[in-house]
Structures are given as C-alpha cells and as structure tokens.
Structure 1
Amino acid sequence: MTLDQPYPVALARLSQAIGAEQDRSIVTPDTPAALVTLAALHGGDPVRARSVIGRAVREGGRAGAADAIFVTHRHRLLLGWALMQDGHLPAAGAAVAAVAGQQLHRRDALWAAALQTAIARRGGDTGAMQQHWYSAMEVLAECSTEVFALLPLGELWVAAARMRQVDRLSHTLDEAFGLLRALDDPGLWSVPLHWAGVHAGILANSPDDVAPHGQALTAAAAHSSFAKALATAGRTWLRVLAGHVDVDEVAPAARALAQFGHTSDATRLAGQAALQTADPRVSQAMLQLARDLKQAVSAPEPSDEPVPAERPAAPAQRPGAARGATRLSDREREVAELLVQGLPYRDIGAQLFISAKTVEHHVARIRRRLGAESRSEMLSMLRVMLAPAQ
C-alpha cells in the first residue's frame, strides 16, 4: 500500500499492526512501529513518527527475548533520526549514544553511522562528519539496497557532496534509483531521496545535477503536499544562492519545511538567505526567522529512558569554573563554546543565526567579563571554564 496508495491510507493500515498480536513464525521486514515511523518520516509526518517510535522505545521490544535488544536498538535509532531532522541535535546524539558499542545488525549499523554523520554536518563539525561518513561507507558496502535504508543513503549523499566524494556513492545511488524505478517510482519512498539530490547538487554548485531531482519533486507535488513543500524550498534555495532573497518567498518556504519535520533544513535556508542579501533589513528579518524556527525546537525532548544506576557522577568542576560560567549570558556561553572549537566569527554567526559583527561584540564582552588581557588568555580561561560541559 505504501507503493500505490495515498500516504494516509497506507499509514492507517500499517498502524493497525502495532497493536495486533504478532505471529512469530512469520518473518517481517521490520517491526510494525518501525514501519509506521519509516512511512511517517518519508511522508513528512514528524509528529506521528516521534509519537509512534517514542512509545515503542518506552515500551521496549515486543519481539522474543533473543531479539528484544536488537528491536530496542532499532527503535532508538529511528527516534534519533526523527529528532535530528527536526533540529533536536543533542537529543538525537543521546539516542545514537545509547546504542554505541552495542552489537548491531548491518542495517542498524548503517543508520547509526549515517545519523552521526547527519548530526555532525548540521552541527558544523566537519572533522566528525568526515570520520562518521567513512565509517558509514564501510558498512554501506556490506548492505543490500532497500527502500528501508534510503534515508541514511540520502544523508551520506549530501555529506559526500560537502566532501567532494560523490563518485564513491555513484554505484549505490544508481542501484537505489533503479530499485525505485522498478517499483514505478513510488512517491512516498522516492521523495526524500530526491530532496537529498537537490541538496547534493546545490553543494556541488551544479544546477544540472539539481534539475532532475527538482523536476521529480515537482511531479510528485500533485499528489503530496510534502513533495510540494520540498519542491518550493528547492527552487527558493537556488534563488537565494543566486542572490535573489525575497522575504515573502523564503519565509513561507522555510516554515513549510519546519512543518514537515525538516526544521534543521528550514533554519539553514533562512540563515543562508540572511548571508546572501545586501539589505540589512532583509538580513535581520531572515536571522529572526531562523531564530524563531530554532526556538520552536530548542527545548529538549523529554526523556522517557530510565537513568542507569551505573551512570558515573558528573565530574567535579575545576576551582573557579562555576563562578566564571555564571558570568556569561546564555548567548555568550553559546558563542564561547563555538569559539574554543576554533570556528571563525562568520561560521559561529551562521550556526547561531547572528551576524559576524554581533559575534565580535559578544567576544569583546566575554573578554571584558573574564578580565583577560589577550585573546589567547581568554581562550585558555574559556577552555577551563567549559571543560566540565564538554
């Protein structure tokens, strides 16, 4: 039904399986909760995805005792993916950390590595992104091409475009699109991969590479409001990168992305629009839009996981660290944490959706608050102050 029926019809049928008694003699491609979540993620239904998979994580695996742990790992990774797409990067990182060091099926190992790649890319950590991407590529070589792994493949594609390594994925991408063609290009499964293709083409600065994926999204828009939002956002993104920033065009496109669970992409679109325009008023409007979208997801997701009894106590702070930390405002602390990572002002501003000049003012205030006589002394003090949180 996910291949030839509208998304609501297919989802209703899939959802009925969640509460049904499972015949353990029958081999299924995934758990009912995972299948509903996958369909919801592909269909731009973030609320349903987080609700279903969050409940599955709380309840634990319903499979037999031997498989329950693997089911739990699978559900945690899918929850992490839903959180990542919607901009909850710390919560997504906690989800993937929960399965770190565990024995994973190859499909889940691919999801874990791709999720770590996605979190690092969205967090601006290029080194970690590259590390996780190469790990994911090793796992990908051992996995079969399937519709249930198209989301991680799309993320690896976008990261590969950032790294100028798309050629290493060419064969797998050809197999994936060949599989979709063999299934008559079902919109539910193909739309997110085409969205990844739009991003990859933009990052490669190749309009010719963007075109076929933009056309596919436009064609799917007749039957999917999610595809329509992605197609509109793709066209808007290209116009923004060409220097045509229209508030009345960017704002609806970004809000539509957020509505369909792609808040991380939405804030990035608004942030890039702010950087591309020469009009200070438009830039401020775009930065405010990005902040508003980010604020909507800034509150941490409530954790339903019990705290392990063996979890070690938080490390004691260095003398004076707490006193120093309390001198910084929340915004100054955000700037400080990125500053000690070695990011330039422009990149810090892009992540926090403020201008590079505003970052410079924050740094000056931080230096005065700490009483540092030089930049190097300020950085040394910040490293000591922030060490317990890192």
Structure 2
Amino acid sequence: DRGEPTGGGTLGADVARLLGDVAAALASGDAAAARRSAGEAADLLEVGSTTVVLPETPHAIGAVVALAVGDAGAADLLLARALDGGVGGPAAAIRHRLLAGFAALRAGRYDRVQRVLDDAHGPGTTRDALLRAALAVGLARRLGDVGRLTTAWERAQPMIAATRSDLLLLPALTELFVTAARLRHADAVDERVAELDAVVAGLGQPGLWARPLAWARVEAAIAADDLDALEAAVAHLRAAEPAHPRLAGLDDAAAAWIGVLRGRHDALDDGVAGLEQAGLVWEASRLVGQAAIRADDPNATRTLLGRARELQGTLPVVDESGEPTGTVLSAREREVAAAVVDGLTYKEIGAMLYISPKTVEHHVARIRQKLGATSRAEMLAGLRAALAAAQD
C-alpha cells in the first residue's frame, strides 16, 4: 500500500527523503528525476492520514519544474490534486492557487487567472505576495492593458524589493523581468535577476533553470526593442541545453525574432512552430503580430494579422461576461475603430458617439482582444487592415 511509510520510517521521514531526492535533482537540473520524486512525495501526502508540515510542498515544487519544461497541463493537474487533498493546509493552498494561476496564464486561461487573483487572498508570505503581484502583471501584459499593467507593476515593486530570489520563484521573477524591460524599469529587478543568475551559475548552469532564464532575457530584449541585447540573450539561450525536447525550438523562435526586428520574415514559420511546441502560443501570436506591424506590404500585414488572430483563437480566452470572445467587430466597435485610426482621443470619440470616455475605453479593450493585438501598434495595424477589408 503506497499509503504506508517505506523503509520502516514515518510518513514525514519518507516525504523528507523524497524531497531530498528532489533537491538533488533540482540542483543537477534533472527534470525527470525531480518530477518523479516530487510525484512520489505528493502521492504519500495525499494518501497519508498524518498532516506533514513542510516549507514547500512536493506539489508546488513539481509544478514549478513542470512549468520550467513547458508542461503547464501537468503543473495544473498536480496543483489541483494538492488543492483537492488539502495538502499543506490553508497556507499551502494559497501558494498552490497562485502557481495554478501561472499554469493558467501559460495556457491562455485568463478567466482562471482572474479568479485566482480574486480568490487567493489571506495572510500568506512575502513569497506569496510576490507570486500574486507577478501574476497580476502577467495577466495585464497579455491582455495588452497598459493602464492595468502600470498599476500592477507599481503594486509589485515593494514585493520585488522585499523578496530574495530562489529557483522556486522562477515563474514570477521571469515575468517581472520581462515586464520591467517593457516599462523601462529594468533597474527595479536587477538585484533579483543577479541573485537568480548566481544560484544557477553556482549549480553549473543546468538547462532546467538556465534555459528559462535565458528565454526571459530574450523576451526582455524584445520588450525593450533592443536588438543588441537580443543577440546577446540568444547567445545565452543557445548555451543552455534544453531540459526537455519541447524547449529545443526556442532557438528557432529567438532567431525568428532577430529576423523580425531586422525586417525579415524568412524564419517566421520555424519560430512559430518552436513557440507552439514549447506551449507558448501567446508568444507565437505576438511574434507574428510584430512581423505584421513591420511589414511594408499591406497585403502581407493583413495576412500576418490574420495568422496572429488564428493563433490567439487557439487560446481559450473568455471576456469578463464569461462568453467566448468573437473576431468580428460590431457596428459600434467599427465606429470606435475608425475614430481610433483617425487619431481621436477617448474623450473626443465619446463626445462624437454620445458615450462616456470609459465606455470608449471598454470598446477599445474588446477590439484589441478580438484582433489578438498585444500592443497599441498591433491594434492600429489590425484596425487599418480590417477597415480596409470592409471597404473592399
């Protein structure tokens, strides 16, 4: 019976032994061994009748490793088991919900992410506060909501300053790293990133940790539109062995981004395939969207934007009402879109259409979501293409 302690010890001792195996695997970068030992420890805790107090549950550790190798589905399943079994009690439940939010973010389940942000409250720890802040930042960035992103970033900064980096915070820290570059506040995370670099270097640069960190550098350089930094980040990425074959395609994705920033699209197909293989569909849509913005030919822009929307369409995104988002603009949205393209402000559009500026803002947010745009530039390019197509 797997519920009985092995080797004549107690349940706590068996779990501690397995977590020791997990720690050794994490240090060596052996993702498969880490997930196997974490899974065994998780099984013991779920079937055991004794509550074992741990600094971190095997479910949380296993989920972080799963996310590091691009397996959001496995991370979500492991965390659901922890929540269903009440593993670790109420304090651990907060951590499990927040990490489940990162799995949902990766999978494009933004409705679930919002529910986590709404529900995962409680005393928690400084680490939990950092996870929650990073999750809010990540959701705002993917929704393309600059106002929400700015607010979430401001709220995150005290947590960034108060928390020391470690490997189990990798999902949060990489998200904050990219957003800091996007908002031109890289100095706010420099110390945390340096700490993470030191930990990974001290372990001998295992690919399990070095590759996700290198990919975050690639994304940060892209967010800052810094080609020199991107080329340096790509060198880091290529030096980091993938801990799982699904992450090998990130090299192609990085090469595609360099091409796009230089105005070339020849590597786009391989880049998109590499991102999809790694479970990074939103990032793939953003790659194609940026290629569309930088295309000289209006027909190419229209084609690429259509492809970006198709990629966005594979994500199970729902709006605040719980209804799936459509891709066709309503009559009112087309009126708002035309005014936005003409350069009118929200106040001016509201006066023209007899609606409030806030209502205009809601229309624009929904238009952006329908177009699959992750920036204002992508939205404007998509609107021009959509309005031109409507006139044809």
Aligned to 2:87: 62
Structure 1's unaligned 5+ residue stretches are 302-313, 315-327, 365-390
Q: 1:72 to 1:25 in 2, by over 3 A?
A: closer
What letter matches 1:155 in structure 2? E
Give the deviation of 1:228 after TM superposition. Answer: 2.3
| 1:212-291 mapped onto 2 (5 Å cutoff) | 212-221=232-241, 224-246=244-266, 249-291=267-309
Q: Is the 8 A contact 2:130 2:172 kept in 1?
A: yes
The one of 124, 129, 152 equivalent to 1:104 is 124
What letter matches 2:164 in structure 1? S
Q: 1:87 to 1:144 in 2, by over 3 A?
A: same
After TM superposition, the structure 1 stretch with the greater mean CA deviation from structure 2, 13-22 or 119-128, is 13-22
Q: Is the 8 A contact 2:39 2:62 kept in 1?
A: yes
Give the deviation of 1:293 after TM superposition. Answer: 2.1
The one of 161, 173, 177 equivalent to 2:181 is 161
After TM superposition, the structure 1 stretch with the greater mean CA deviation from structure 2, 35-44 or 196-205, is 196-205
- Cα offsets for 1:37-83 (capped at 9, x unmatched): 100001111221222223333x05222xxxx2222211111111111
**Partner secondary structure for residue 27 of structure 2:** coil
The one of 314, 328, 332 equivalent to 2:329 is 332
Give the deviation of 1:134 after TM superposition. Answer: 1.9
The one of 110, 113, 116 equivalent to 1:89 is 110
- Cα offsets for 1:16-54 (capped at 9, x unmatched): 111114697976441111111100001111221222223
Number of residue pairs aligned between Structure 1 and Structure 2: 332
Give the deviation of 1:151 after TM superposition. Answer: 1.8
Q: Is the 8 A contact 1:335 1:363 kept in 2?
A: no
Cα distance in 1 for partners of 2:231, 2:326 equals 45
Aligned to 1:114: 134
Q: 1:119 to 1:223 in 2, by over 3 A?
A: closer
The one of 33, 39, 42 equivalent to 1:9 is 33
Give the deviation of 1:188 after TM superposition. Answer: 0.9
Structure 2's unaligned 5+ residue stretches are 1-24, 338-359
- Cα offsets for 1:328-377 (capped at 9, x unmatched): 9763259849962174999674359872224547999xxxxxxxxxxxxx
Q: 1:12 to 1:244 in 2, by over 3 A?
A: same
Give the deviation of 1:96 after TM superposition. Answer: 1.7
Aligned to 2:19: none
Q: 1:51 to 1:359 in 2, by over 3 A?
A: same
After TM superposition, the structure 1 stretch with the greater mean CA deviation from structure 2, 173-182 or 6-15, is 6-15
Give the deviation of 1:225 after TM superposition. Answer: 2.6
Aligned to 1:147: 167
Q: Is the 8 A contact 1:76 1:96 kept in 2?
A: no
The one of 355, 359, 363 equivalent to 2:382 is 355
Aligned to 1:374: none
Q: 1:112 to 1:345 in 2, by over 3 A?
A: closer
Aligned to 1:370: none
Cα distance in 2 for partners of 1:223, 1:278 equals 39
Q: 1:222 to 1:118 in 2, by over 3 A?
A: closer
Aligned to 2:97: 76
Give the deviation of 1:300 after TM superposition. Answer: 5.8
Q: Is the 8 A contact 2:208 2:242 kept in 1?
A: no
Give the deviation of 1:173 after TM superposition. Answer: 1.5
Q: Is the 8 A contact 2:208 2:243 kept in 1?
A: no
Aligned to 1:44: 70
Matched, 1:20 2:44: yes
Matched, 1:124 2:144: yes
Matched, 1:188 2:208: yes
The one of 180, 191, 201 equivalent to 1:171 is 191
**Partner secondary structure for residue 331 of structure 1:** coil
Q: 1:34 to 1:345 in 2, by over 3 A?
A: closer
The one of 271, 292, 298 equivalent to 2:310 is 292
Once superposed, what is the RMSD of the aligned Cα atoms?
Answer: 3.4
TM-score by length of 2: 0.75
Cα distance in 2 for partners of 1:170, 1:159 equals 12
TM-score by length of 1: 0.75
| 1:354-373 mapped onto 2 (5 Å cutoff) | 355-360=382-387
Aligned to 1:198: 218
Q: 1:299 to 1:197 in 2, by over 3 A?
A: closer
Give the deviation of 1:167 after TM superposition. Answer: 1.6
Cα distance in 2 for partners of 1:329, 1:121 equals 20
What letter matches 1:144 in structure 2? R
